[in-house]
Chain A
Amino acid sequence: MSTTMTQLSPNVILAPIAGRFDAHQVPKVQKEIDSALASGVNTVIMDLGEVNFVDSSALAVMVRTMKHCRERGGELILCGLRQPVRIIFELTRMDKAFRIFDDVNAARGAVGM
């Protein structure tokens, strides 16, 4: 249920998320990402490797993060989607909205980290 964001470079952070990514966890994640964006970050790698469920408020915070990153010339990258989460993404077509990588290393590679 916790996130410990790691700064990979002045404008890239890695945000690992675990457990149920739902309305209980969303405010904390959103706050941490917002403060990172305020300090000059424009690219967020969200590692969902330990997430077993995402609800609509979590999808909404991902979309919000994606929009804010783009406004700053960066992007939101997702990685490590497990099967139940991948199914939700495919059913809602959200897999078409994000750049998604199999794991953290592939995601880091994509932004040269």
Chain B
Amino acid sequence: MALQVGVTGAKTRSTACSMNEHILVVEDDDSLRDWIEFELGFDGYRVSQASDGASAIAFVDSRPTLDLILLDVQLPGMDGFQICDHIQQLPDMVAVPVIFLTARASLDDKLSGFAAGAVDYLTKPFKMAELKARIQALLRSKERQRSVGRQEEHAQRDKEMAEAAMIQQALMSCALNGITGVEVFADCRPARTVGGDLYDIYVRPDGRLNVVEADVSGKGMAAAMVTSEVRTVLREVSRMLAAPGAVMALTNSRLYDDLSNVNKLVTIFAGFYAPATRTFVYANAGHSVAVYRPAEGSAQILEATGLPLGIFDTADFEERIVRLASDDLLVICSDGFPEAANHDGDLYGYDRLLQAIDALHTRPVQEIAATLAHEVTEFAAGCEQSDDQTIIVIKGKE
């Protein structure tokens, strides 16, 4: 097959391909094939060659990772259309664009090329600059498709995460159902879409208010999956047992194996408010930090009365009692509050938190929560929120 090749156009070195895309050149004219390989190789493409139908088929059947195929139509043994048909049958090749190179330039020829699955058609003689431009255009549109695919994947994942977040929020309850004597507000702001914190506030069958805040180590989806188990076990155990220390001990033994298997710890602050006596009895499994601010006096940390869950298979949790009469205040924060860090790496810390609670103790519960959240965010100005932030504020009323 005699053919004349056009004059080489300006070399497009500036657009050299950095990703080393892989192009197969199927051409029986040795000098044309070598020339194309030289030019494309010079531009940074990885080039493989085949000089007849059989070796082209053998090559694509070896499942190489290919980005584009240049295919001569008139080849010894098998023509380009047949090779193209074969390629279309291979699942991982079907998306690889094919450019036909041929001296046959009739409309029928072109149409049969497109019918066989070609995406472009170049008539010999051609200019190298044009061939390169067409290759680049095809590879760009392939890259665009890939990026659209990635965006669709992201959008799907975002949608699933948003659904998960909605469910996680819906499982956090703050239902007072007629409990008198206290104002209560609770809020959970995960560092990511979902998180490892939870609160659960509801009225027990014995008429006391069940108040729980928990923090599973870590954050994001993995921690979120553990929170739903923690909530379920806590609810079930709280139905059977009437003292927070016992609830904590049984919850720990129920959760221990699962927590060990996934290397997680859970800190929990759990207590019951009794309207009749206006007292709050609690157990604190390593939860940092609960702050009590009596109407007269100053804010103080309610230290842990036992270890976080998941450390020992059996553990004891002492109980403590605080009064929640008029203007007595209880603030239960997850560690995302005191451990919020600023650009210098300084933590918001316990002292600032205690001072802020002292300054805010006369305010309504929702305002206390909002102001503390605001102060912590201000303190960490510009730094990404690195941990989930959950807060429960309970205050005795007149």
Interface residues of A (CB under 8 A from B): 20, 23, 52-53, 55-57, 59-61, 63-64, 66-67, 84, 87-88, 90-94, 96-97
Q: B339 touching A92 by the CB < 8 A rule? A: no
- Residues on A with C-beta less than 8 A from B264 are 60
- Residues on A with C-beta less than 8 A from B288 are 88, 91-92
B114, CB-defined interface residue at 8 Å: no
Report which residue of A56, A66, A94 has the largest number of chain B beta carbons within 10 angstroms of its beta carbon.
A56
Which candidate, B40-48, B120-128, B236-244, B301-309, is the interface stretch facing chain A? B301-309
With A and B bound together, what is the CA distance between A18 and B312 in angstroms?
27
With A and B bound together, what is the CA distance between A43 and B312 in angstroms?
18
- Residues on A with C-beta less than 8 A from B294 are none
Q: List 23 A-B contacts (CB under 8 A).
A: A23-B219, A52-B345, A53-B345, A55-B335, A56-B215, A56-B335, A57-B217, A59-B217, A59-B265, A60-B217, A60-B218, A60-B263, A60-B265, A63-B310, A67-B260, A84-B347, A91-B286, A91-B288, A91-B289, A93-B305, A93-B306, A94-B286, A94-B308
Q: Which of A52, A60, A87 contacts B350 (CB 8 A)?
A: A87
Interfacial residues of chain B within 349-377, with CB under 8 A of chain A in the complex = 350
Closest CB-CB distance, B387 to chain A, in whole Å? 7
- Residues on A with C-beta less than 8 A from B286 are 91-94
With A and B bound together, what is the CA distance between A23 and B196 in angstroms?
14
Closest CB-CB distance, A65 to chain B, in whole Å? 10
Contact A92-B387, Cβ < 8 Å, known A56-B215, A56-B218, A59-B265 = no
B311, CB-defined interface residue at 8 Å: yes
B267, CB-defined interface residue at 8 Å: yes
- Residues on A with C-beta less than 8 A from B350 are 87
Q: Which of A53, A55, A57, A91 contacts B304 (CB 8 A)?
A: A91
With A and B bound together, what is the CA distance between A94 and B347 in angstroms?
20
Shortest Cβ distance from A87 into B: residue:
B350
A-B contact count (CB 8 A): 67
Report which residue of A55, A87, A92 has the largest number of chain B beta carbons within 10 angstroms of its beta carbon.
A92
Q: Which of A52, A53, A94 contacts B307 (CB 8 A)?
A: A94
- Residues on A with C-beta less than 8 A from B287 are 92
Report which residue of B288, B289, B345 has the largest number of chain A beta carbons within 10 angstroms of its beta carbon.
B288
What does the 1/0 interface line of B285-328 toward A look like (CB < 8 Å)?
Answer: 01111000000000001011111101110000000000000000
- Residues on B with C-beta less than 8 A from A56 are 215, 217-218, 265, 267, 335
- Residues on B with C-beta less than 8 A from A59 are 217, 265, 308
- Residues on A with C-beta less than 8 A from B263 are 60-61, 63-64
Number of interface residues of B (CB under 8 A): 29
The 8 closest A-B pairs by CB, nearest first: A92-B286, A56-B217, A93-B304, A60-B217, A91-B288, A64-B263, A60-B265, A93-B307
Q: B307 touching A96 by the CB < 8 A rule? A: yes
- Residues on B with C-beta less than 8 A from A67 are 260
Shortest Cβ distance from B308 into A: residue:
A92
Q: B307 touching A92 by the CB < 8 A rule? A: yes
With A and B bound together, what is the CA distance between A20 and B242 in angstroms?
40
Shortest Cβ distance from B387 into A: residue:
A55
With A and B bound together, what is the CA distance between A41 and B387 in angstroms?
34
Interfacial residues of chain B within 49-92, with CB under 8 A of chain A in the complex = none
Contact A91-B301, Cβ < 8 Å, known A60-B265, A97-B307, A97-B312 = yes
With A and B bound together, what is the CA distance between A63 and B260 in angstroms?
9
With A and B bound together, what is the CA distance between A84 and B341 in angstroms?
14
With A and B bound together, what is the CA distance between A91 and B354 in angstroms?
14
Closest CB-CB distance, B269 to chain A, in whole Å? 11
With A and B bound together, what is the CA distance between A23 and B218 in angstroms?
8
Closest CB-CB distance, B358 to chain A, in whole Å? 19
With A and B bound together, what is the CA distance between A55 and B288 in angstroms?
11
Closest CB-CB distance, A59 to chain B, in whole Å? 6
Shortest Cβ distance from A98 into B: residue:
B311
Q: A97 touching B311 by the CB < 8 A rule? A: yes
- Residues on B with C-beta less than 8 A from A94 are 286, 307-308, 311
Closest CB-CB distance, B389 to chain A, in whole Å? 13
Closest CB-CB distance, B328 to chain A, in whole Å? 22
